[in-house]
Structure formats: structure tokens, C-alpha cells
Chain A
């Protein structure tokens, strides 16, 4: 069952679409699930499917198509480092490698304490701030340097 909160938020989305096009809200519904628990389980997808009256496989297609949905637990703070061209030109790979060694995990992995997860991402449309990462797909941190990374990680660690 979707939580009350997810259902309430989804209901609000549903108002934007005709009543016979409930599946239009699938991306939002999946996002709400991820916001709540950090990732999306197949059971959640089945719940979303039931809630929106669409085939389960159809929800699965959407959830696996978009890179920003986490299909496994990714830690409390998921850092998504953009490794597309503009970012690479100004050292995205060094940024990524630094975070890897700092957290002791590889891309797609989570630290043992479950605090940090690391992902590679596509262009975030803010190339002017490169190199950069996003925290939980919500907050962009740009112009990264080693010092800045240390500082951000230290702050997140305290949360």
C-alpha cells in the first residue's frame, strides 16, 4: 500500500489530468515514493500501478527508463555526479574519483553505514557550475573543489 502521504500528493497530481488518464501521474507518484523511502521497490511499483489503474509492467518500464529513479537503496544522501561532456572538461572524473576514495565506495554503491550513496548522472543543465553533483536529486552543489567536497560531506555527515 502506498503511504497516506504519497497518496495525498498523487491525488493532487491527478487533478491535473483527465480522470481517464490517471497514468499520466505515474512519474510523480514514483518520485513521491522515492522521496519518502529513498528508492523504489518492485512492490511499490505494483502499488503505484494499482493506484493509477495501469499495468504493473508499464510502471516498471517508466521506473527503469529514467535514470533518476533509484531501483535499490542508495543511502540517506545520494550524490549524483554529472559526468557528461561539459563537466568532464573541467574535471568531473577527478571529482568523482575523489568522492570514491573519500567514501570508500564505487559508483552505484552505498557506504556501510547507509549514509552516502554515489551515482553517475547525465547533464543537469547547469554546466556553468561544473563540476557538480546533486544531493538526492534535489540540491545542486557546483564549482566543486576537494575542500568544498570535504565541507559538504562533513555537514551531511552531521545530519
Chain B
């Protein structure tokens, strides 16, 4: 430890600490631009100059490490003179266009200029002009003359985003921030550059010129998208969400947000919002009063339960619904006498149901990901499914962690991958079994009978062996299963094998979790096996068509594992009640549309994949006649005379679920009574590999206009290995017809030699592939 003194105050800090960090710990503010606690030190703005005893000239506090006995003066005459000098230089070329600048009011340069700048400029000469750039639909680089070349945006790309999309070209006075060959910035974390830019050079394209920052009120909320549970500051003007910024939470999202969390708010104000209850009568949709609509629903459900049996009612909800909504939905359905309720809409293998020790979860704290030294990632589109978790894994690799990957696609994760095995979905269990075998041999362990059969049937490949060695050599090992592994038709076998691998190398073992409430759904008992009596799971409910469906936030053709089957079931039902924030395709098959509110217009709770319970309040009033779903379900429960539906507020619902519950005890990834067999699943011909594209995951983000203009939201194409294309005599770029069972889609086909042979990669969750069948399994390709 080192003792230093800053402005007369003494502090003891560790060796290597910078003067600026030491000062911040003392609560002493040193002006700065290029310094950022999460980025490397560039020391190029010179705003942080301070006086240090015995140093002949002022030194940059961000780049000066502490030394024993150092005496620092941050506000001495020499320091202030230096800081004022730097400020004068920074302002020389700055356009000083604050009145028309979007950053005005939250600009670090503006703030510091007030403190350190002169009231008039001595500079009379011509200012330099830097031309604007178009770097994509999210980040505006329209006024690059404002740039002070701090390179925070560049360092963010390299260090946190994992790709150097922006750089500083040219030199000295001519230096400019730009992308290579006027490319766009496509990082799924790009919005953070807007926050980092200390001036108004990089601004938010969707938000620009729509409000002044001081007109906005700031309300805390939680992201409803991925399973991380990012903390949001939702900024509101005139009862409209204008913008979303991160709230710093070191254990969750640090100071970042993914672009999905940041820009999805545009979907809240979409023209497709459903604002009035509607009933279909004689093939026409009529707007009705809430009372009428709810009575219609209550009567319909009562009648179906009465006449054909309650088990003819099924309820489906998205995992983006709140804990309260999910809980009341299952309570309503169970109150009616049915147990058919599920939120795991894209799952296809339910054989682990009630054989698992608890709700599948991350198995560790999010913050601990950074400290893992060996990863085995199984079936995950990590970067797109979990942008900020991917960034944490990336940080871990910077500290030397090795990443082993078993998956069906080889998308660039923008981090070094130590070993990877890219195989078709049907081969995934085999690869895991090989790794398990290699580990067991190395550790001379006898394997549990549940995995013996499959392990005996395989011989570890060199890669599997390398993975096993990598995992065995780690101290803090994590085996993590992604969305793809959870949606996989052999999900429970993958889980079982991963569990045994984890056991052999003392690893933590868990699931990334698909959506904001993937853990919460279990806690809310929105699963068919939560009770003594079991009902049908999401897939069974569609396979054995029900007479009535209640859909909570669900768009049947986009949110389900098998859209074809889902639409058929909806079409055949006597009654479909769609609780939705949007008017969507349900108008084709539903009988009632109940306008419910998205997360910004209701209070609620999400339980993130690490088991973190985060409740939030509504940030704006419900739009039109839309109402929070928990209230709608409450009224329905009362109308149907189901006991226990008189809650005063959503907190009462939450407390009923969580108070007195030992949450950690409810989480558990260990399987009992499942066994893995060799080659239990095979597909003849080509098999489908599906991802749910990052901006197609849920109803809100699908309607976020700017996100829909990004490259990630481009119309899906069918991707195949060129060997497979040749077999079919197809050219890359041609239009093909893809067929699964009795539905087809027309897409252009592109050669992608990073894919394994025998697969076609086709995105799910998108309108153009909504006629297709299950996300996994056989698929036919022919020239269109």
C-alpha cells in the first residue's frame, strides 16, 4: 500500500493506482474527458493536469501512478492554470454550437467549460471542419467538428465491444474519428458510445432533437428483454418515453446497456399499439368497452370449461411477461381447473420437467463471469442473445480465460476461442459425451449409469480431448448452456451431460436464460408441473389442440418453437383470447383482443438468470385504454369467482409469490432420473438450425423502428455450406423454397462455409419464416 496526500487529505491506496482514481476515492473531482474507469488510459485530452510536488510541470492525473509520499494539488494555482489552458485549446476548434446541440445540458465539455473556460475566445482564426459521417441507424455522427478526439468511442469498441469499428484516422489537426471505408458501426453495444462521448459528436439518432434533456423526468426500470435484467433510466416527457439510459449497477449491467435495451423503447410508441378492447363478431373486429370484453372472455372460458372440461383451456405467456402477470395467469387457469400453462414457448424438450432440482438458472452471479478462467459454452448465440454477458466473457478472456465452444454455428464472438466444435444439432450430445469421456478418463472417474451408455458409444476427438484438458486445467470453471441448447430437441440430454462434465471438473453449471423472466416464470408457477396435478406443456398444448387459448403477450407465429403448429392450433380453437400490447397477427385467429401495457406502463417484477429479483414501477400512464395485465387478470379472476384474486396492488401479488420463499433453494440445474442415450435423435436429409435474431426476440423490439434498420435486423436468409449448395445444384444468392411439413418460405440462400454440413440455418421469430415448422428438425430446400 502507498500513502499519498491529495489537497491535504491523506489516503492509502494500492500500488499502481492512478492519481485520478485515488482522488475520486477521496471525493475530490479532477476534471477529465478521455479518462473512463472502464476503459484503458489514453491520456490524450490533458484536462486532468494536476500539480505534483517536486514534478517540474503539471502531470495528467489519469496517467500518473501514485508513489509513496506523493503530494498532489488538484486546485493549486499551477493546476488550475494548466487546466484552463487545456480548456482553451479544446475550445479553439470546437464549434461552440451548444444552443443547437443535442448534448446541451448533459455535455461534459459544456460543464467543464463553465468551470474552466474563458468567457470569450481569443482565437480569431478559421476553425477546422470535420465532415459528418453516417455510421448507421442508431448512433449519429452528424457533427464531428464537436469531437475533441478523446478516443473513448474507439477504445470502447476495441475493449468492450470486441471490434474496432471506429478509429482515429489522419494526424494532428487533421485527426478524425471514422469507420473504415464509411462502414456502419454494427456492434450490438454501439449505443454506449453515445453515453461515453463527452461532447455532442456522437448522439442518439432516434432521440435527436425530440426533447431537451432537462425537460425529461427520469424513472427507474428494468429491461424486459434478455435475462440479464439491465437497470434502466426511462426518461419521460409528456407521458411518453423519450429515451432510455443505463443506471449503473456494477453487478448487473455495469454502466452499459445493449442496443436492444437502449433503443427498444421506440416500440412502445408504435402505431400498432392496441388501445381498445376488441371483439370479433361475424368476422369483423369491433371496439368494445372493457366490461363487455371481459364478460365475453369470462363467459366463454366458463362455458368451455363447463361443456368440454377445463383441460380444454390452455394458457401461453412469453418469458418477457412480469412475475405478477405470469403468476395470475397460472392462478386463473388453475382456478378454472386446467393445468395447461407454460411460458417456455421456444422449448421443445420437456423431459426434464419435475426431474430438476429447481428453476434452471445461471448457476452463479453475473459478476462472477469475469472471474471464470475456463468456459464451456454449449449452444449459444452468445453475442446476440446476451450482449452484455458476452462482454463479460470477453473481459474474462482478456484476463486469460479459455473459451471452449460447442455449437451449430460459428458466428464471430469477437473473443479468442480456445477450442470449438461446430456440429449439426443431432451431433451435439455426441460431442458433449466425448468431452465427458475424455474428462472421466483423465480423472479416472466412474460415471453415473445415466450417462454410461452414451459415453461408451463414443471416442473422444482431438478437439474434445483438448476441451477436456482445458476444463480440467481451470480453477474457476463454468459450463454454460445457451438458448439454443435449451430450445434443442435433446435439451435434457445436453443438460445431463453438461451436469456430469461440470461435476468432474468442479465447475459451476448453468443456463444463460432466454428472457427477462426465464427464471421468474418457474417461480410464478407458470409451468404445467408446478402442482401435484400436471398439465400440458407449451408444445403438447399445440400438438393436442385445445378448445380455448389464453395468450399473454404471445405472437403465436413468432414466439413459439413451431409457428406452423401454433397457428394451426389457434385456427382450430373455439376461442382465443389475446392479451397484447399490440394489434398483431392475432386478428386472424383470435376472438378477443385485450389491450395490456408493456413494462413501462405497469409495475412488475423480473427475476434475472442469476436469480436477482428486481421490481419496478410504471414510468408512464397506460396508453389509451390499455391496462396492466395483472389488473386484467385480477378482474377476470373475480368475474370467474376464483378465490384469492383481490389484490390491492402488484406488490401484493409479488409478495404472495416471494414472501416466505427461499429463493436460492428454488433454483437448481441438477437433473435426476433422466438418462442420455446414444443416437436417439436423427434427421434424414437437411436439418434446420435456427437463431432468433437479436431484434426479433419479443413484441416490443420487433416494433422498434431504428433497431429494425440495423444489419442485425436484415431480412433472414438461408445459410448453407457450399458443399450442400453444390449437392442441390444451387448458387449462392439464389432464391430458394424452404419447406417444413406443410408450410414453406422463400428466401435467398447464401453459402456459409463456417456452418457444419447437413444443416440450413434459417432464423426464427421473423415474419418471413413464420410459415415454417419447428426450429429444429428436417427441412427441405429447392430452387424457388
Docked complex Cα distance between A66 and B171 (Å): 8
A84, CB-defined interface residue at 8 Å: no
Q: Of B160-168, B547-555, B671-679, which stretch is located at the interface?
A: B160-168
Pick the contact of A60: B163, B167, B171 (CB < 8 A). Answer: B167
Q: What are 23 sample pairs from A and B whose C-beta atoms fall under 8 A apart?
A: A42-B180, A42-B181, A45-B180, A46-B181, A55-B158, A55-B163, A55-B164, A55-B167, A55-B180, A56-B180, A57-B169, A57-B179, A60-B167, A60-B169, A60-B180, A61-B167, A61-B168, A64-B169, A64-B170, A64-B171, A65-B169, A66-B171, A67-B171
A60 to B181, CA, bound (A): 9
Residues of A within 8 A of B167 (CB): 55, 57-58, 60-61
**CB pair A58 B164 closer than 8 Å:** yes
User: Contact: A57 with B171, CB < 8 Å?
Assistant: no
Considering the complex, which residues of chain B in the window 177-236 have a beta carbon less than 8 Å from any beta carbon of chain A?
A: 179-181
Chain B 511-552 interface mask (CB, 8 Å, partner A; 1/0): 000000000000000000000000000000000000000000
Number of A-B contacts (CB under 8 A): 35
Nearest chain A CB to B754 CB, angstrom units: 16
Residues of B within 8 A of A (CB): 158, 163-171, 179-181
Complex CA distance for A46 and B179, rounded to whole angstroms: 13
Residues of B contacting A66 with CB < 8 Å? 171
| Distance of A57 Cα from B154 Cα, bound (Å) | 10
Whether A65 touches B170, Cβ cut-off 8 Å, given contacts A55-B164, A57-B165, A58-B164, is yes
B354, chain A: closest CB distance, angstroms: 50
Given A42-B180, A42-B181, residue A57 in contact with residue B164 (CB < 8 A): yes
- Which residue on chain A has the smallest CB distance to residue B169? A64
Given A42-B180, A55-B180, A67-B171: 4 more A-B contacts, CB < 8 Å: A56-B180, A57-B169, A61-B167, A64-B171
Please name all residues of chain A whose beta carbon is closer than 8 Å to the beta carbon of B163 when the two chains form the complex: 55
Cα distance A65–B172 in the bound complex, in angstroms: 9
Chain A residue with the shortest CB-CB distance to B167: A57
Report the Cα distance A57→B171, complex, angstroms: 14
> Which A residues fall within an 8 A CB radius of B?
42, 45-46, 55-58, 60-61, 64-67
The 6 nearest A-B residue pairs measured at CB: A57-B167, A55-B164, A64-B169, A57-B180, A56-B180, A64-B170
Write the chain B residue with the least CB distance to A43: B181
CB distance from A156 to the nearest CB of B (A): 29
Measured CB to CB, the nearest residue on chain B to A61 is B167
A55 to B170, CA, bound (A): 16
Task: Give chain B residues whose Cβ lies under 8 Å from the Cβ of A46.
Answer: 180-181
State how many angstroms separate the Cβ of A57 from the closest Cβ of chain B: 4
Known: A42-B180, A42-B181. A57 touches B166 (CB 8 A): yes
Bound-state Cα–Cα, A65 to B170, Å: 5
A65 CA / B181 CA spacing, docked (Å): 16
- Shortest B128–chain A CB gap in Å is 16
Which residues of chain A come closer than 8 Å to B168, judged between CB atoms? 61
CB distance from B743 to the nearest CB of A (A): 41
Determine how close the nearest CB of chain A comes to the CB of B349; give it in whole angstroms: 40
Task: Give the docked Cα–Cα distance between A60 and B180 (Å).
Answer: 7
Q: Quick one: closest B residue to A54, CB to CB?
A: B164
Most buried by B among A45, A61, A67: A61
Which residues in B have their C-beta under 8 angstroms from that of A55? 158, 163-164, 167, 180
Which chain B residue lies CB-closest to A55? B164
A43 to B167, CA, bound (A): 17
| In the bound complex, CA of A57 to CA of B186 (Å) | 14
CA distance A57 to B167 in the complex (A): 6
Chain A residues within 8 Å of B158, by CB: 55
Residues of chain A lying within 8 A (CB to CB) of residue B180: 42, 45-46, 55-57, 60
Task: Kindly name the residue among B167, B168, B171 whose own CB sees the greatest number of chain A CB atoms within 10 A.
Answer: B167
A131 to B487, CA, bound (A): 74
- The smallest C-beta distance from B770 to any residue of chain A, in angstroms, reads 37
- Residues of chain A lying within 8 A (CB to CB) of residue B181: 42, 46, 56
Minimum C-beta distance from A19 to chain B (A): 14
Contacts of B165 in A (CB 8 A): 57
Inter-chain CA distance A55–B414, complex, in Å, is: 11
**How far is B164's CA from A56's CA once the two chains are assembled, in angstroms?**
8
Measured CA separation A67–B174 after assembly (Å): 12
CB distance from A65 to the nearest CB of B (A): 5
Chain B, Cβ-Cβ closest to A66: B171
Q: In whole angstroms, what is the CA distance A66 to B164 when docked? A: 20
Q: Judging by beta carbons under 8 Å apart, are A65 and B164 in contact?
A: no
| Nearest-CB residue, chain B, relative to A58 | B164
A49, closest chain B residue (CB)? B180
CA of A55 to CA of B158, assembled, Å = 9
Expressed in whole angstroms, the Cα–Cα distance for A122 and B181 within the complex equals 27
Of all chain A residues, the one with the shortest Cβ separation from B165 is: A57
| A140 to B: closest C-beta gap in Å | 23
Provide the bound-state CA to CA distance between A42 and B168, in Å: 15
Contact B166 A65 (CB under 8 A): no
C-alpha spacing A45/B171, complex, angstroms? 18
Which residue on A lies nearest to B164, using beta carbons? A55
In the assembled complex, the Cα of A45 lies from the Cα of B158 at a distance in Å of 19
- Complex alpha-carbon distance, A127 and B158, angstroms: 41
Q: How far, in whole Å, are A58 and B154 apart by their CA atoms in the complex?
A: 10
Whole-angstrom distance from the CB of B170 to the nearest CB of chain A?
Answer: 5
B142 to chain A, nearest CB (A): 20
Q: CA–CA, A60 to B179, complex, Å?
A: 9
Give the docked Cα–Cα distance between A60 and B158 (Å). 15
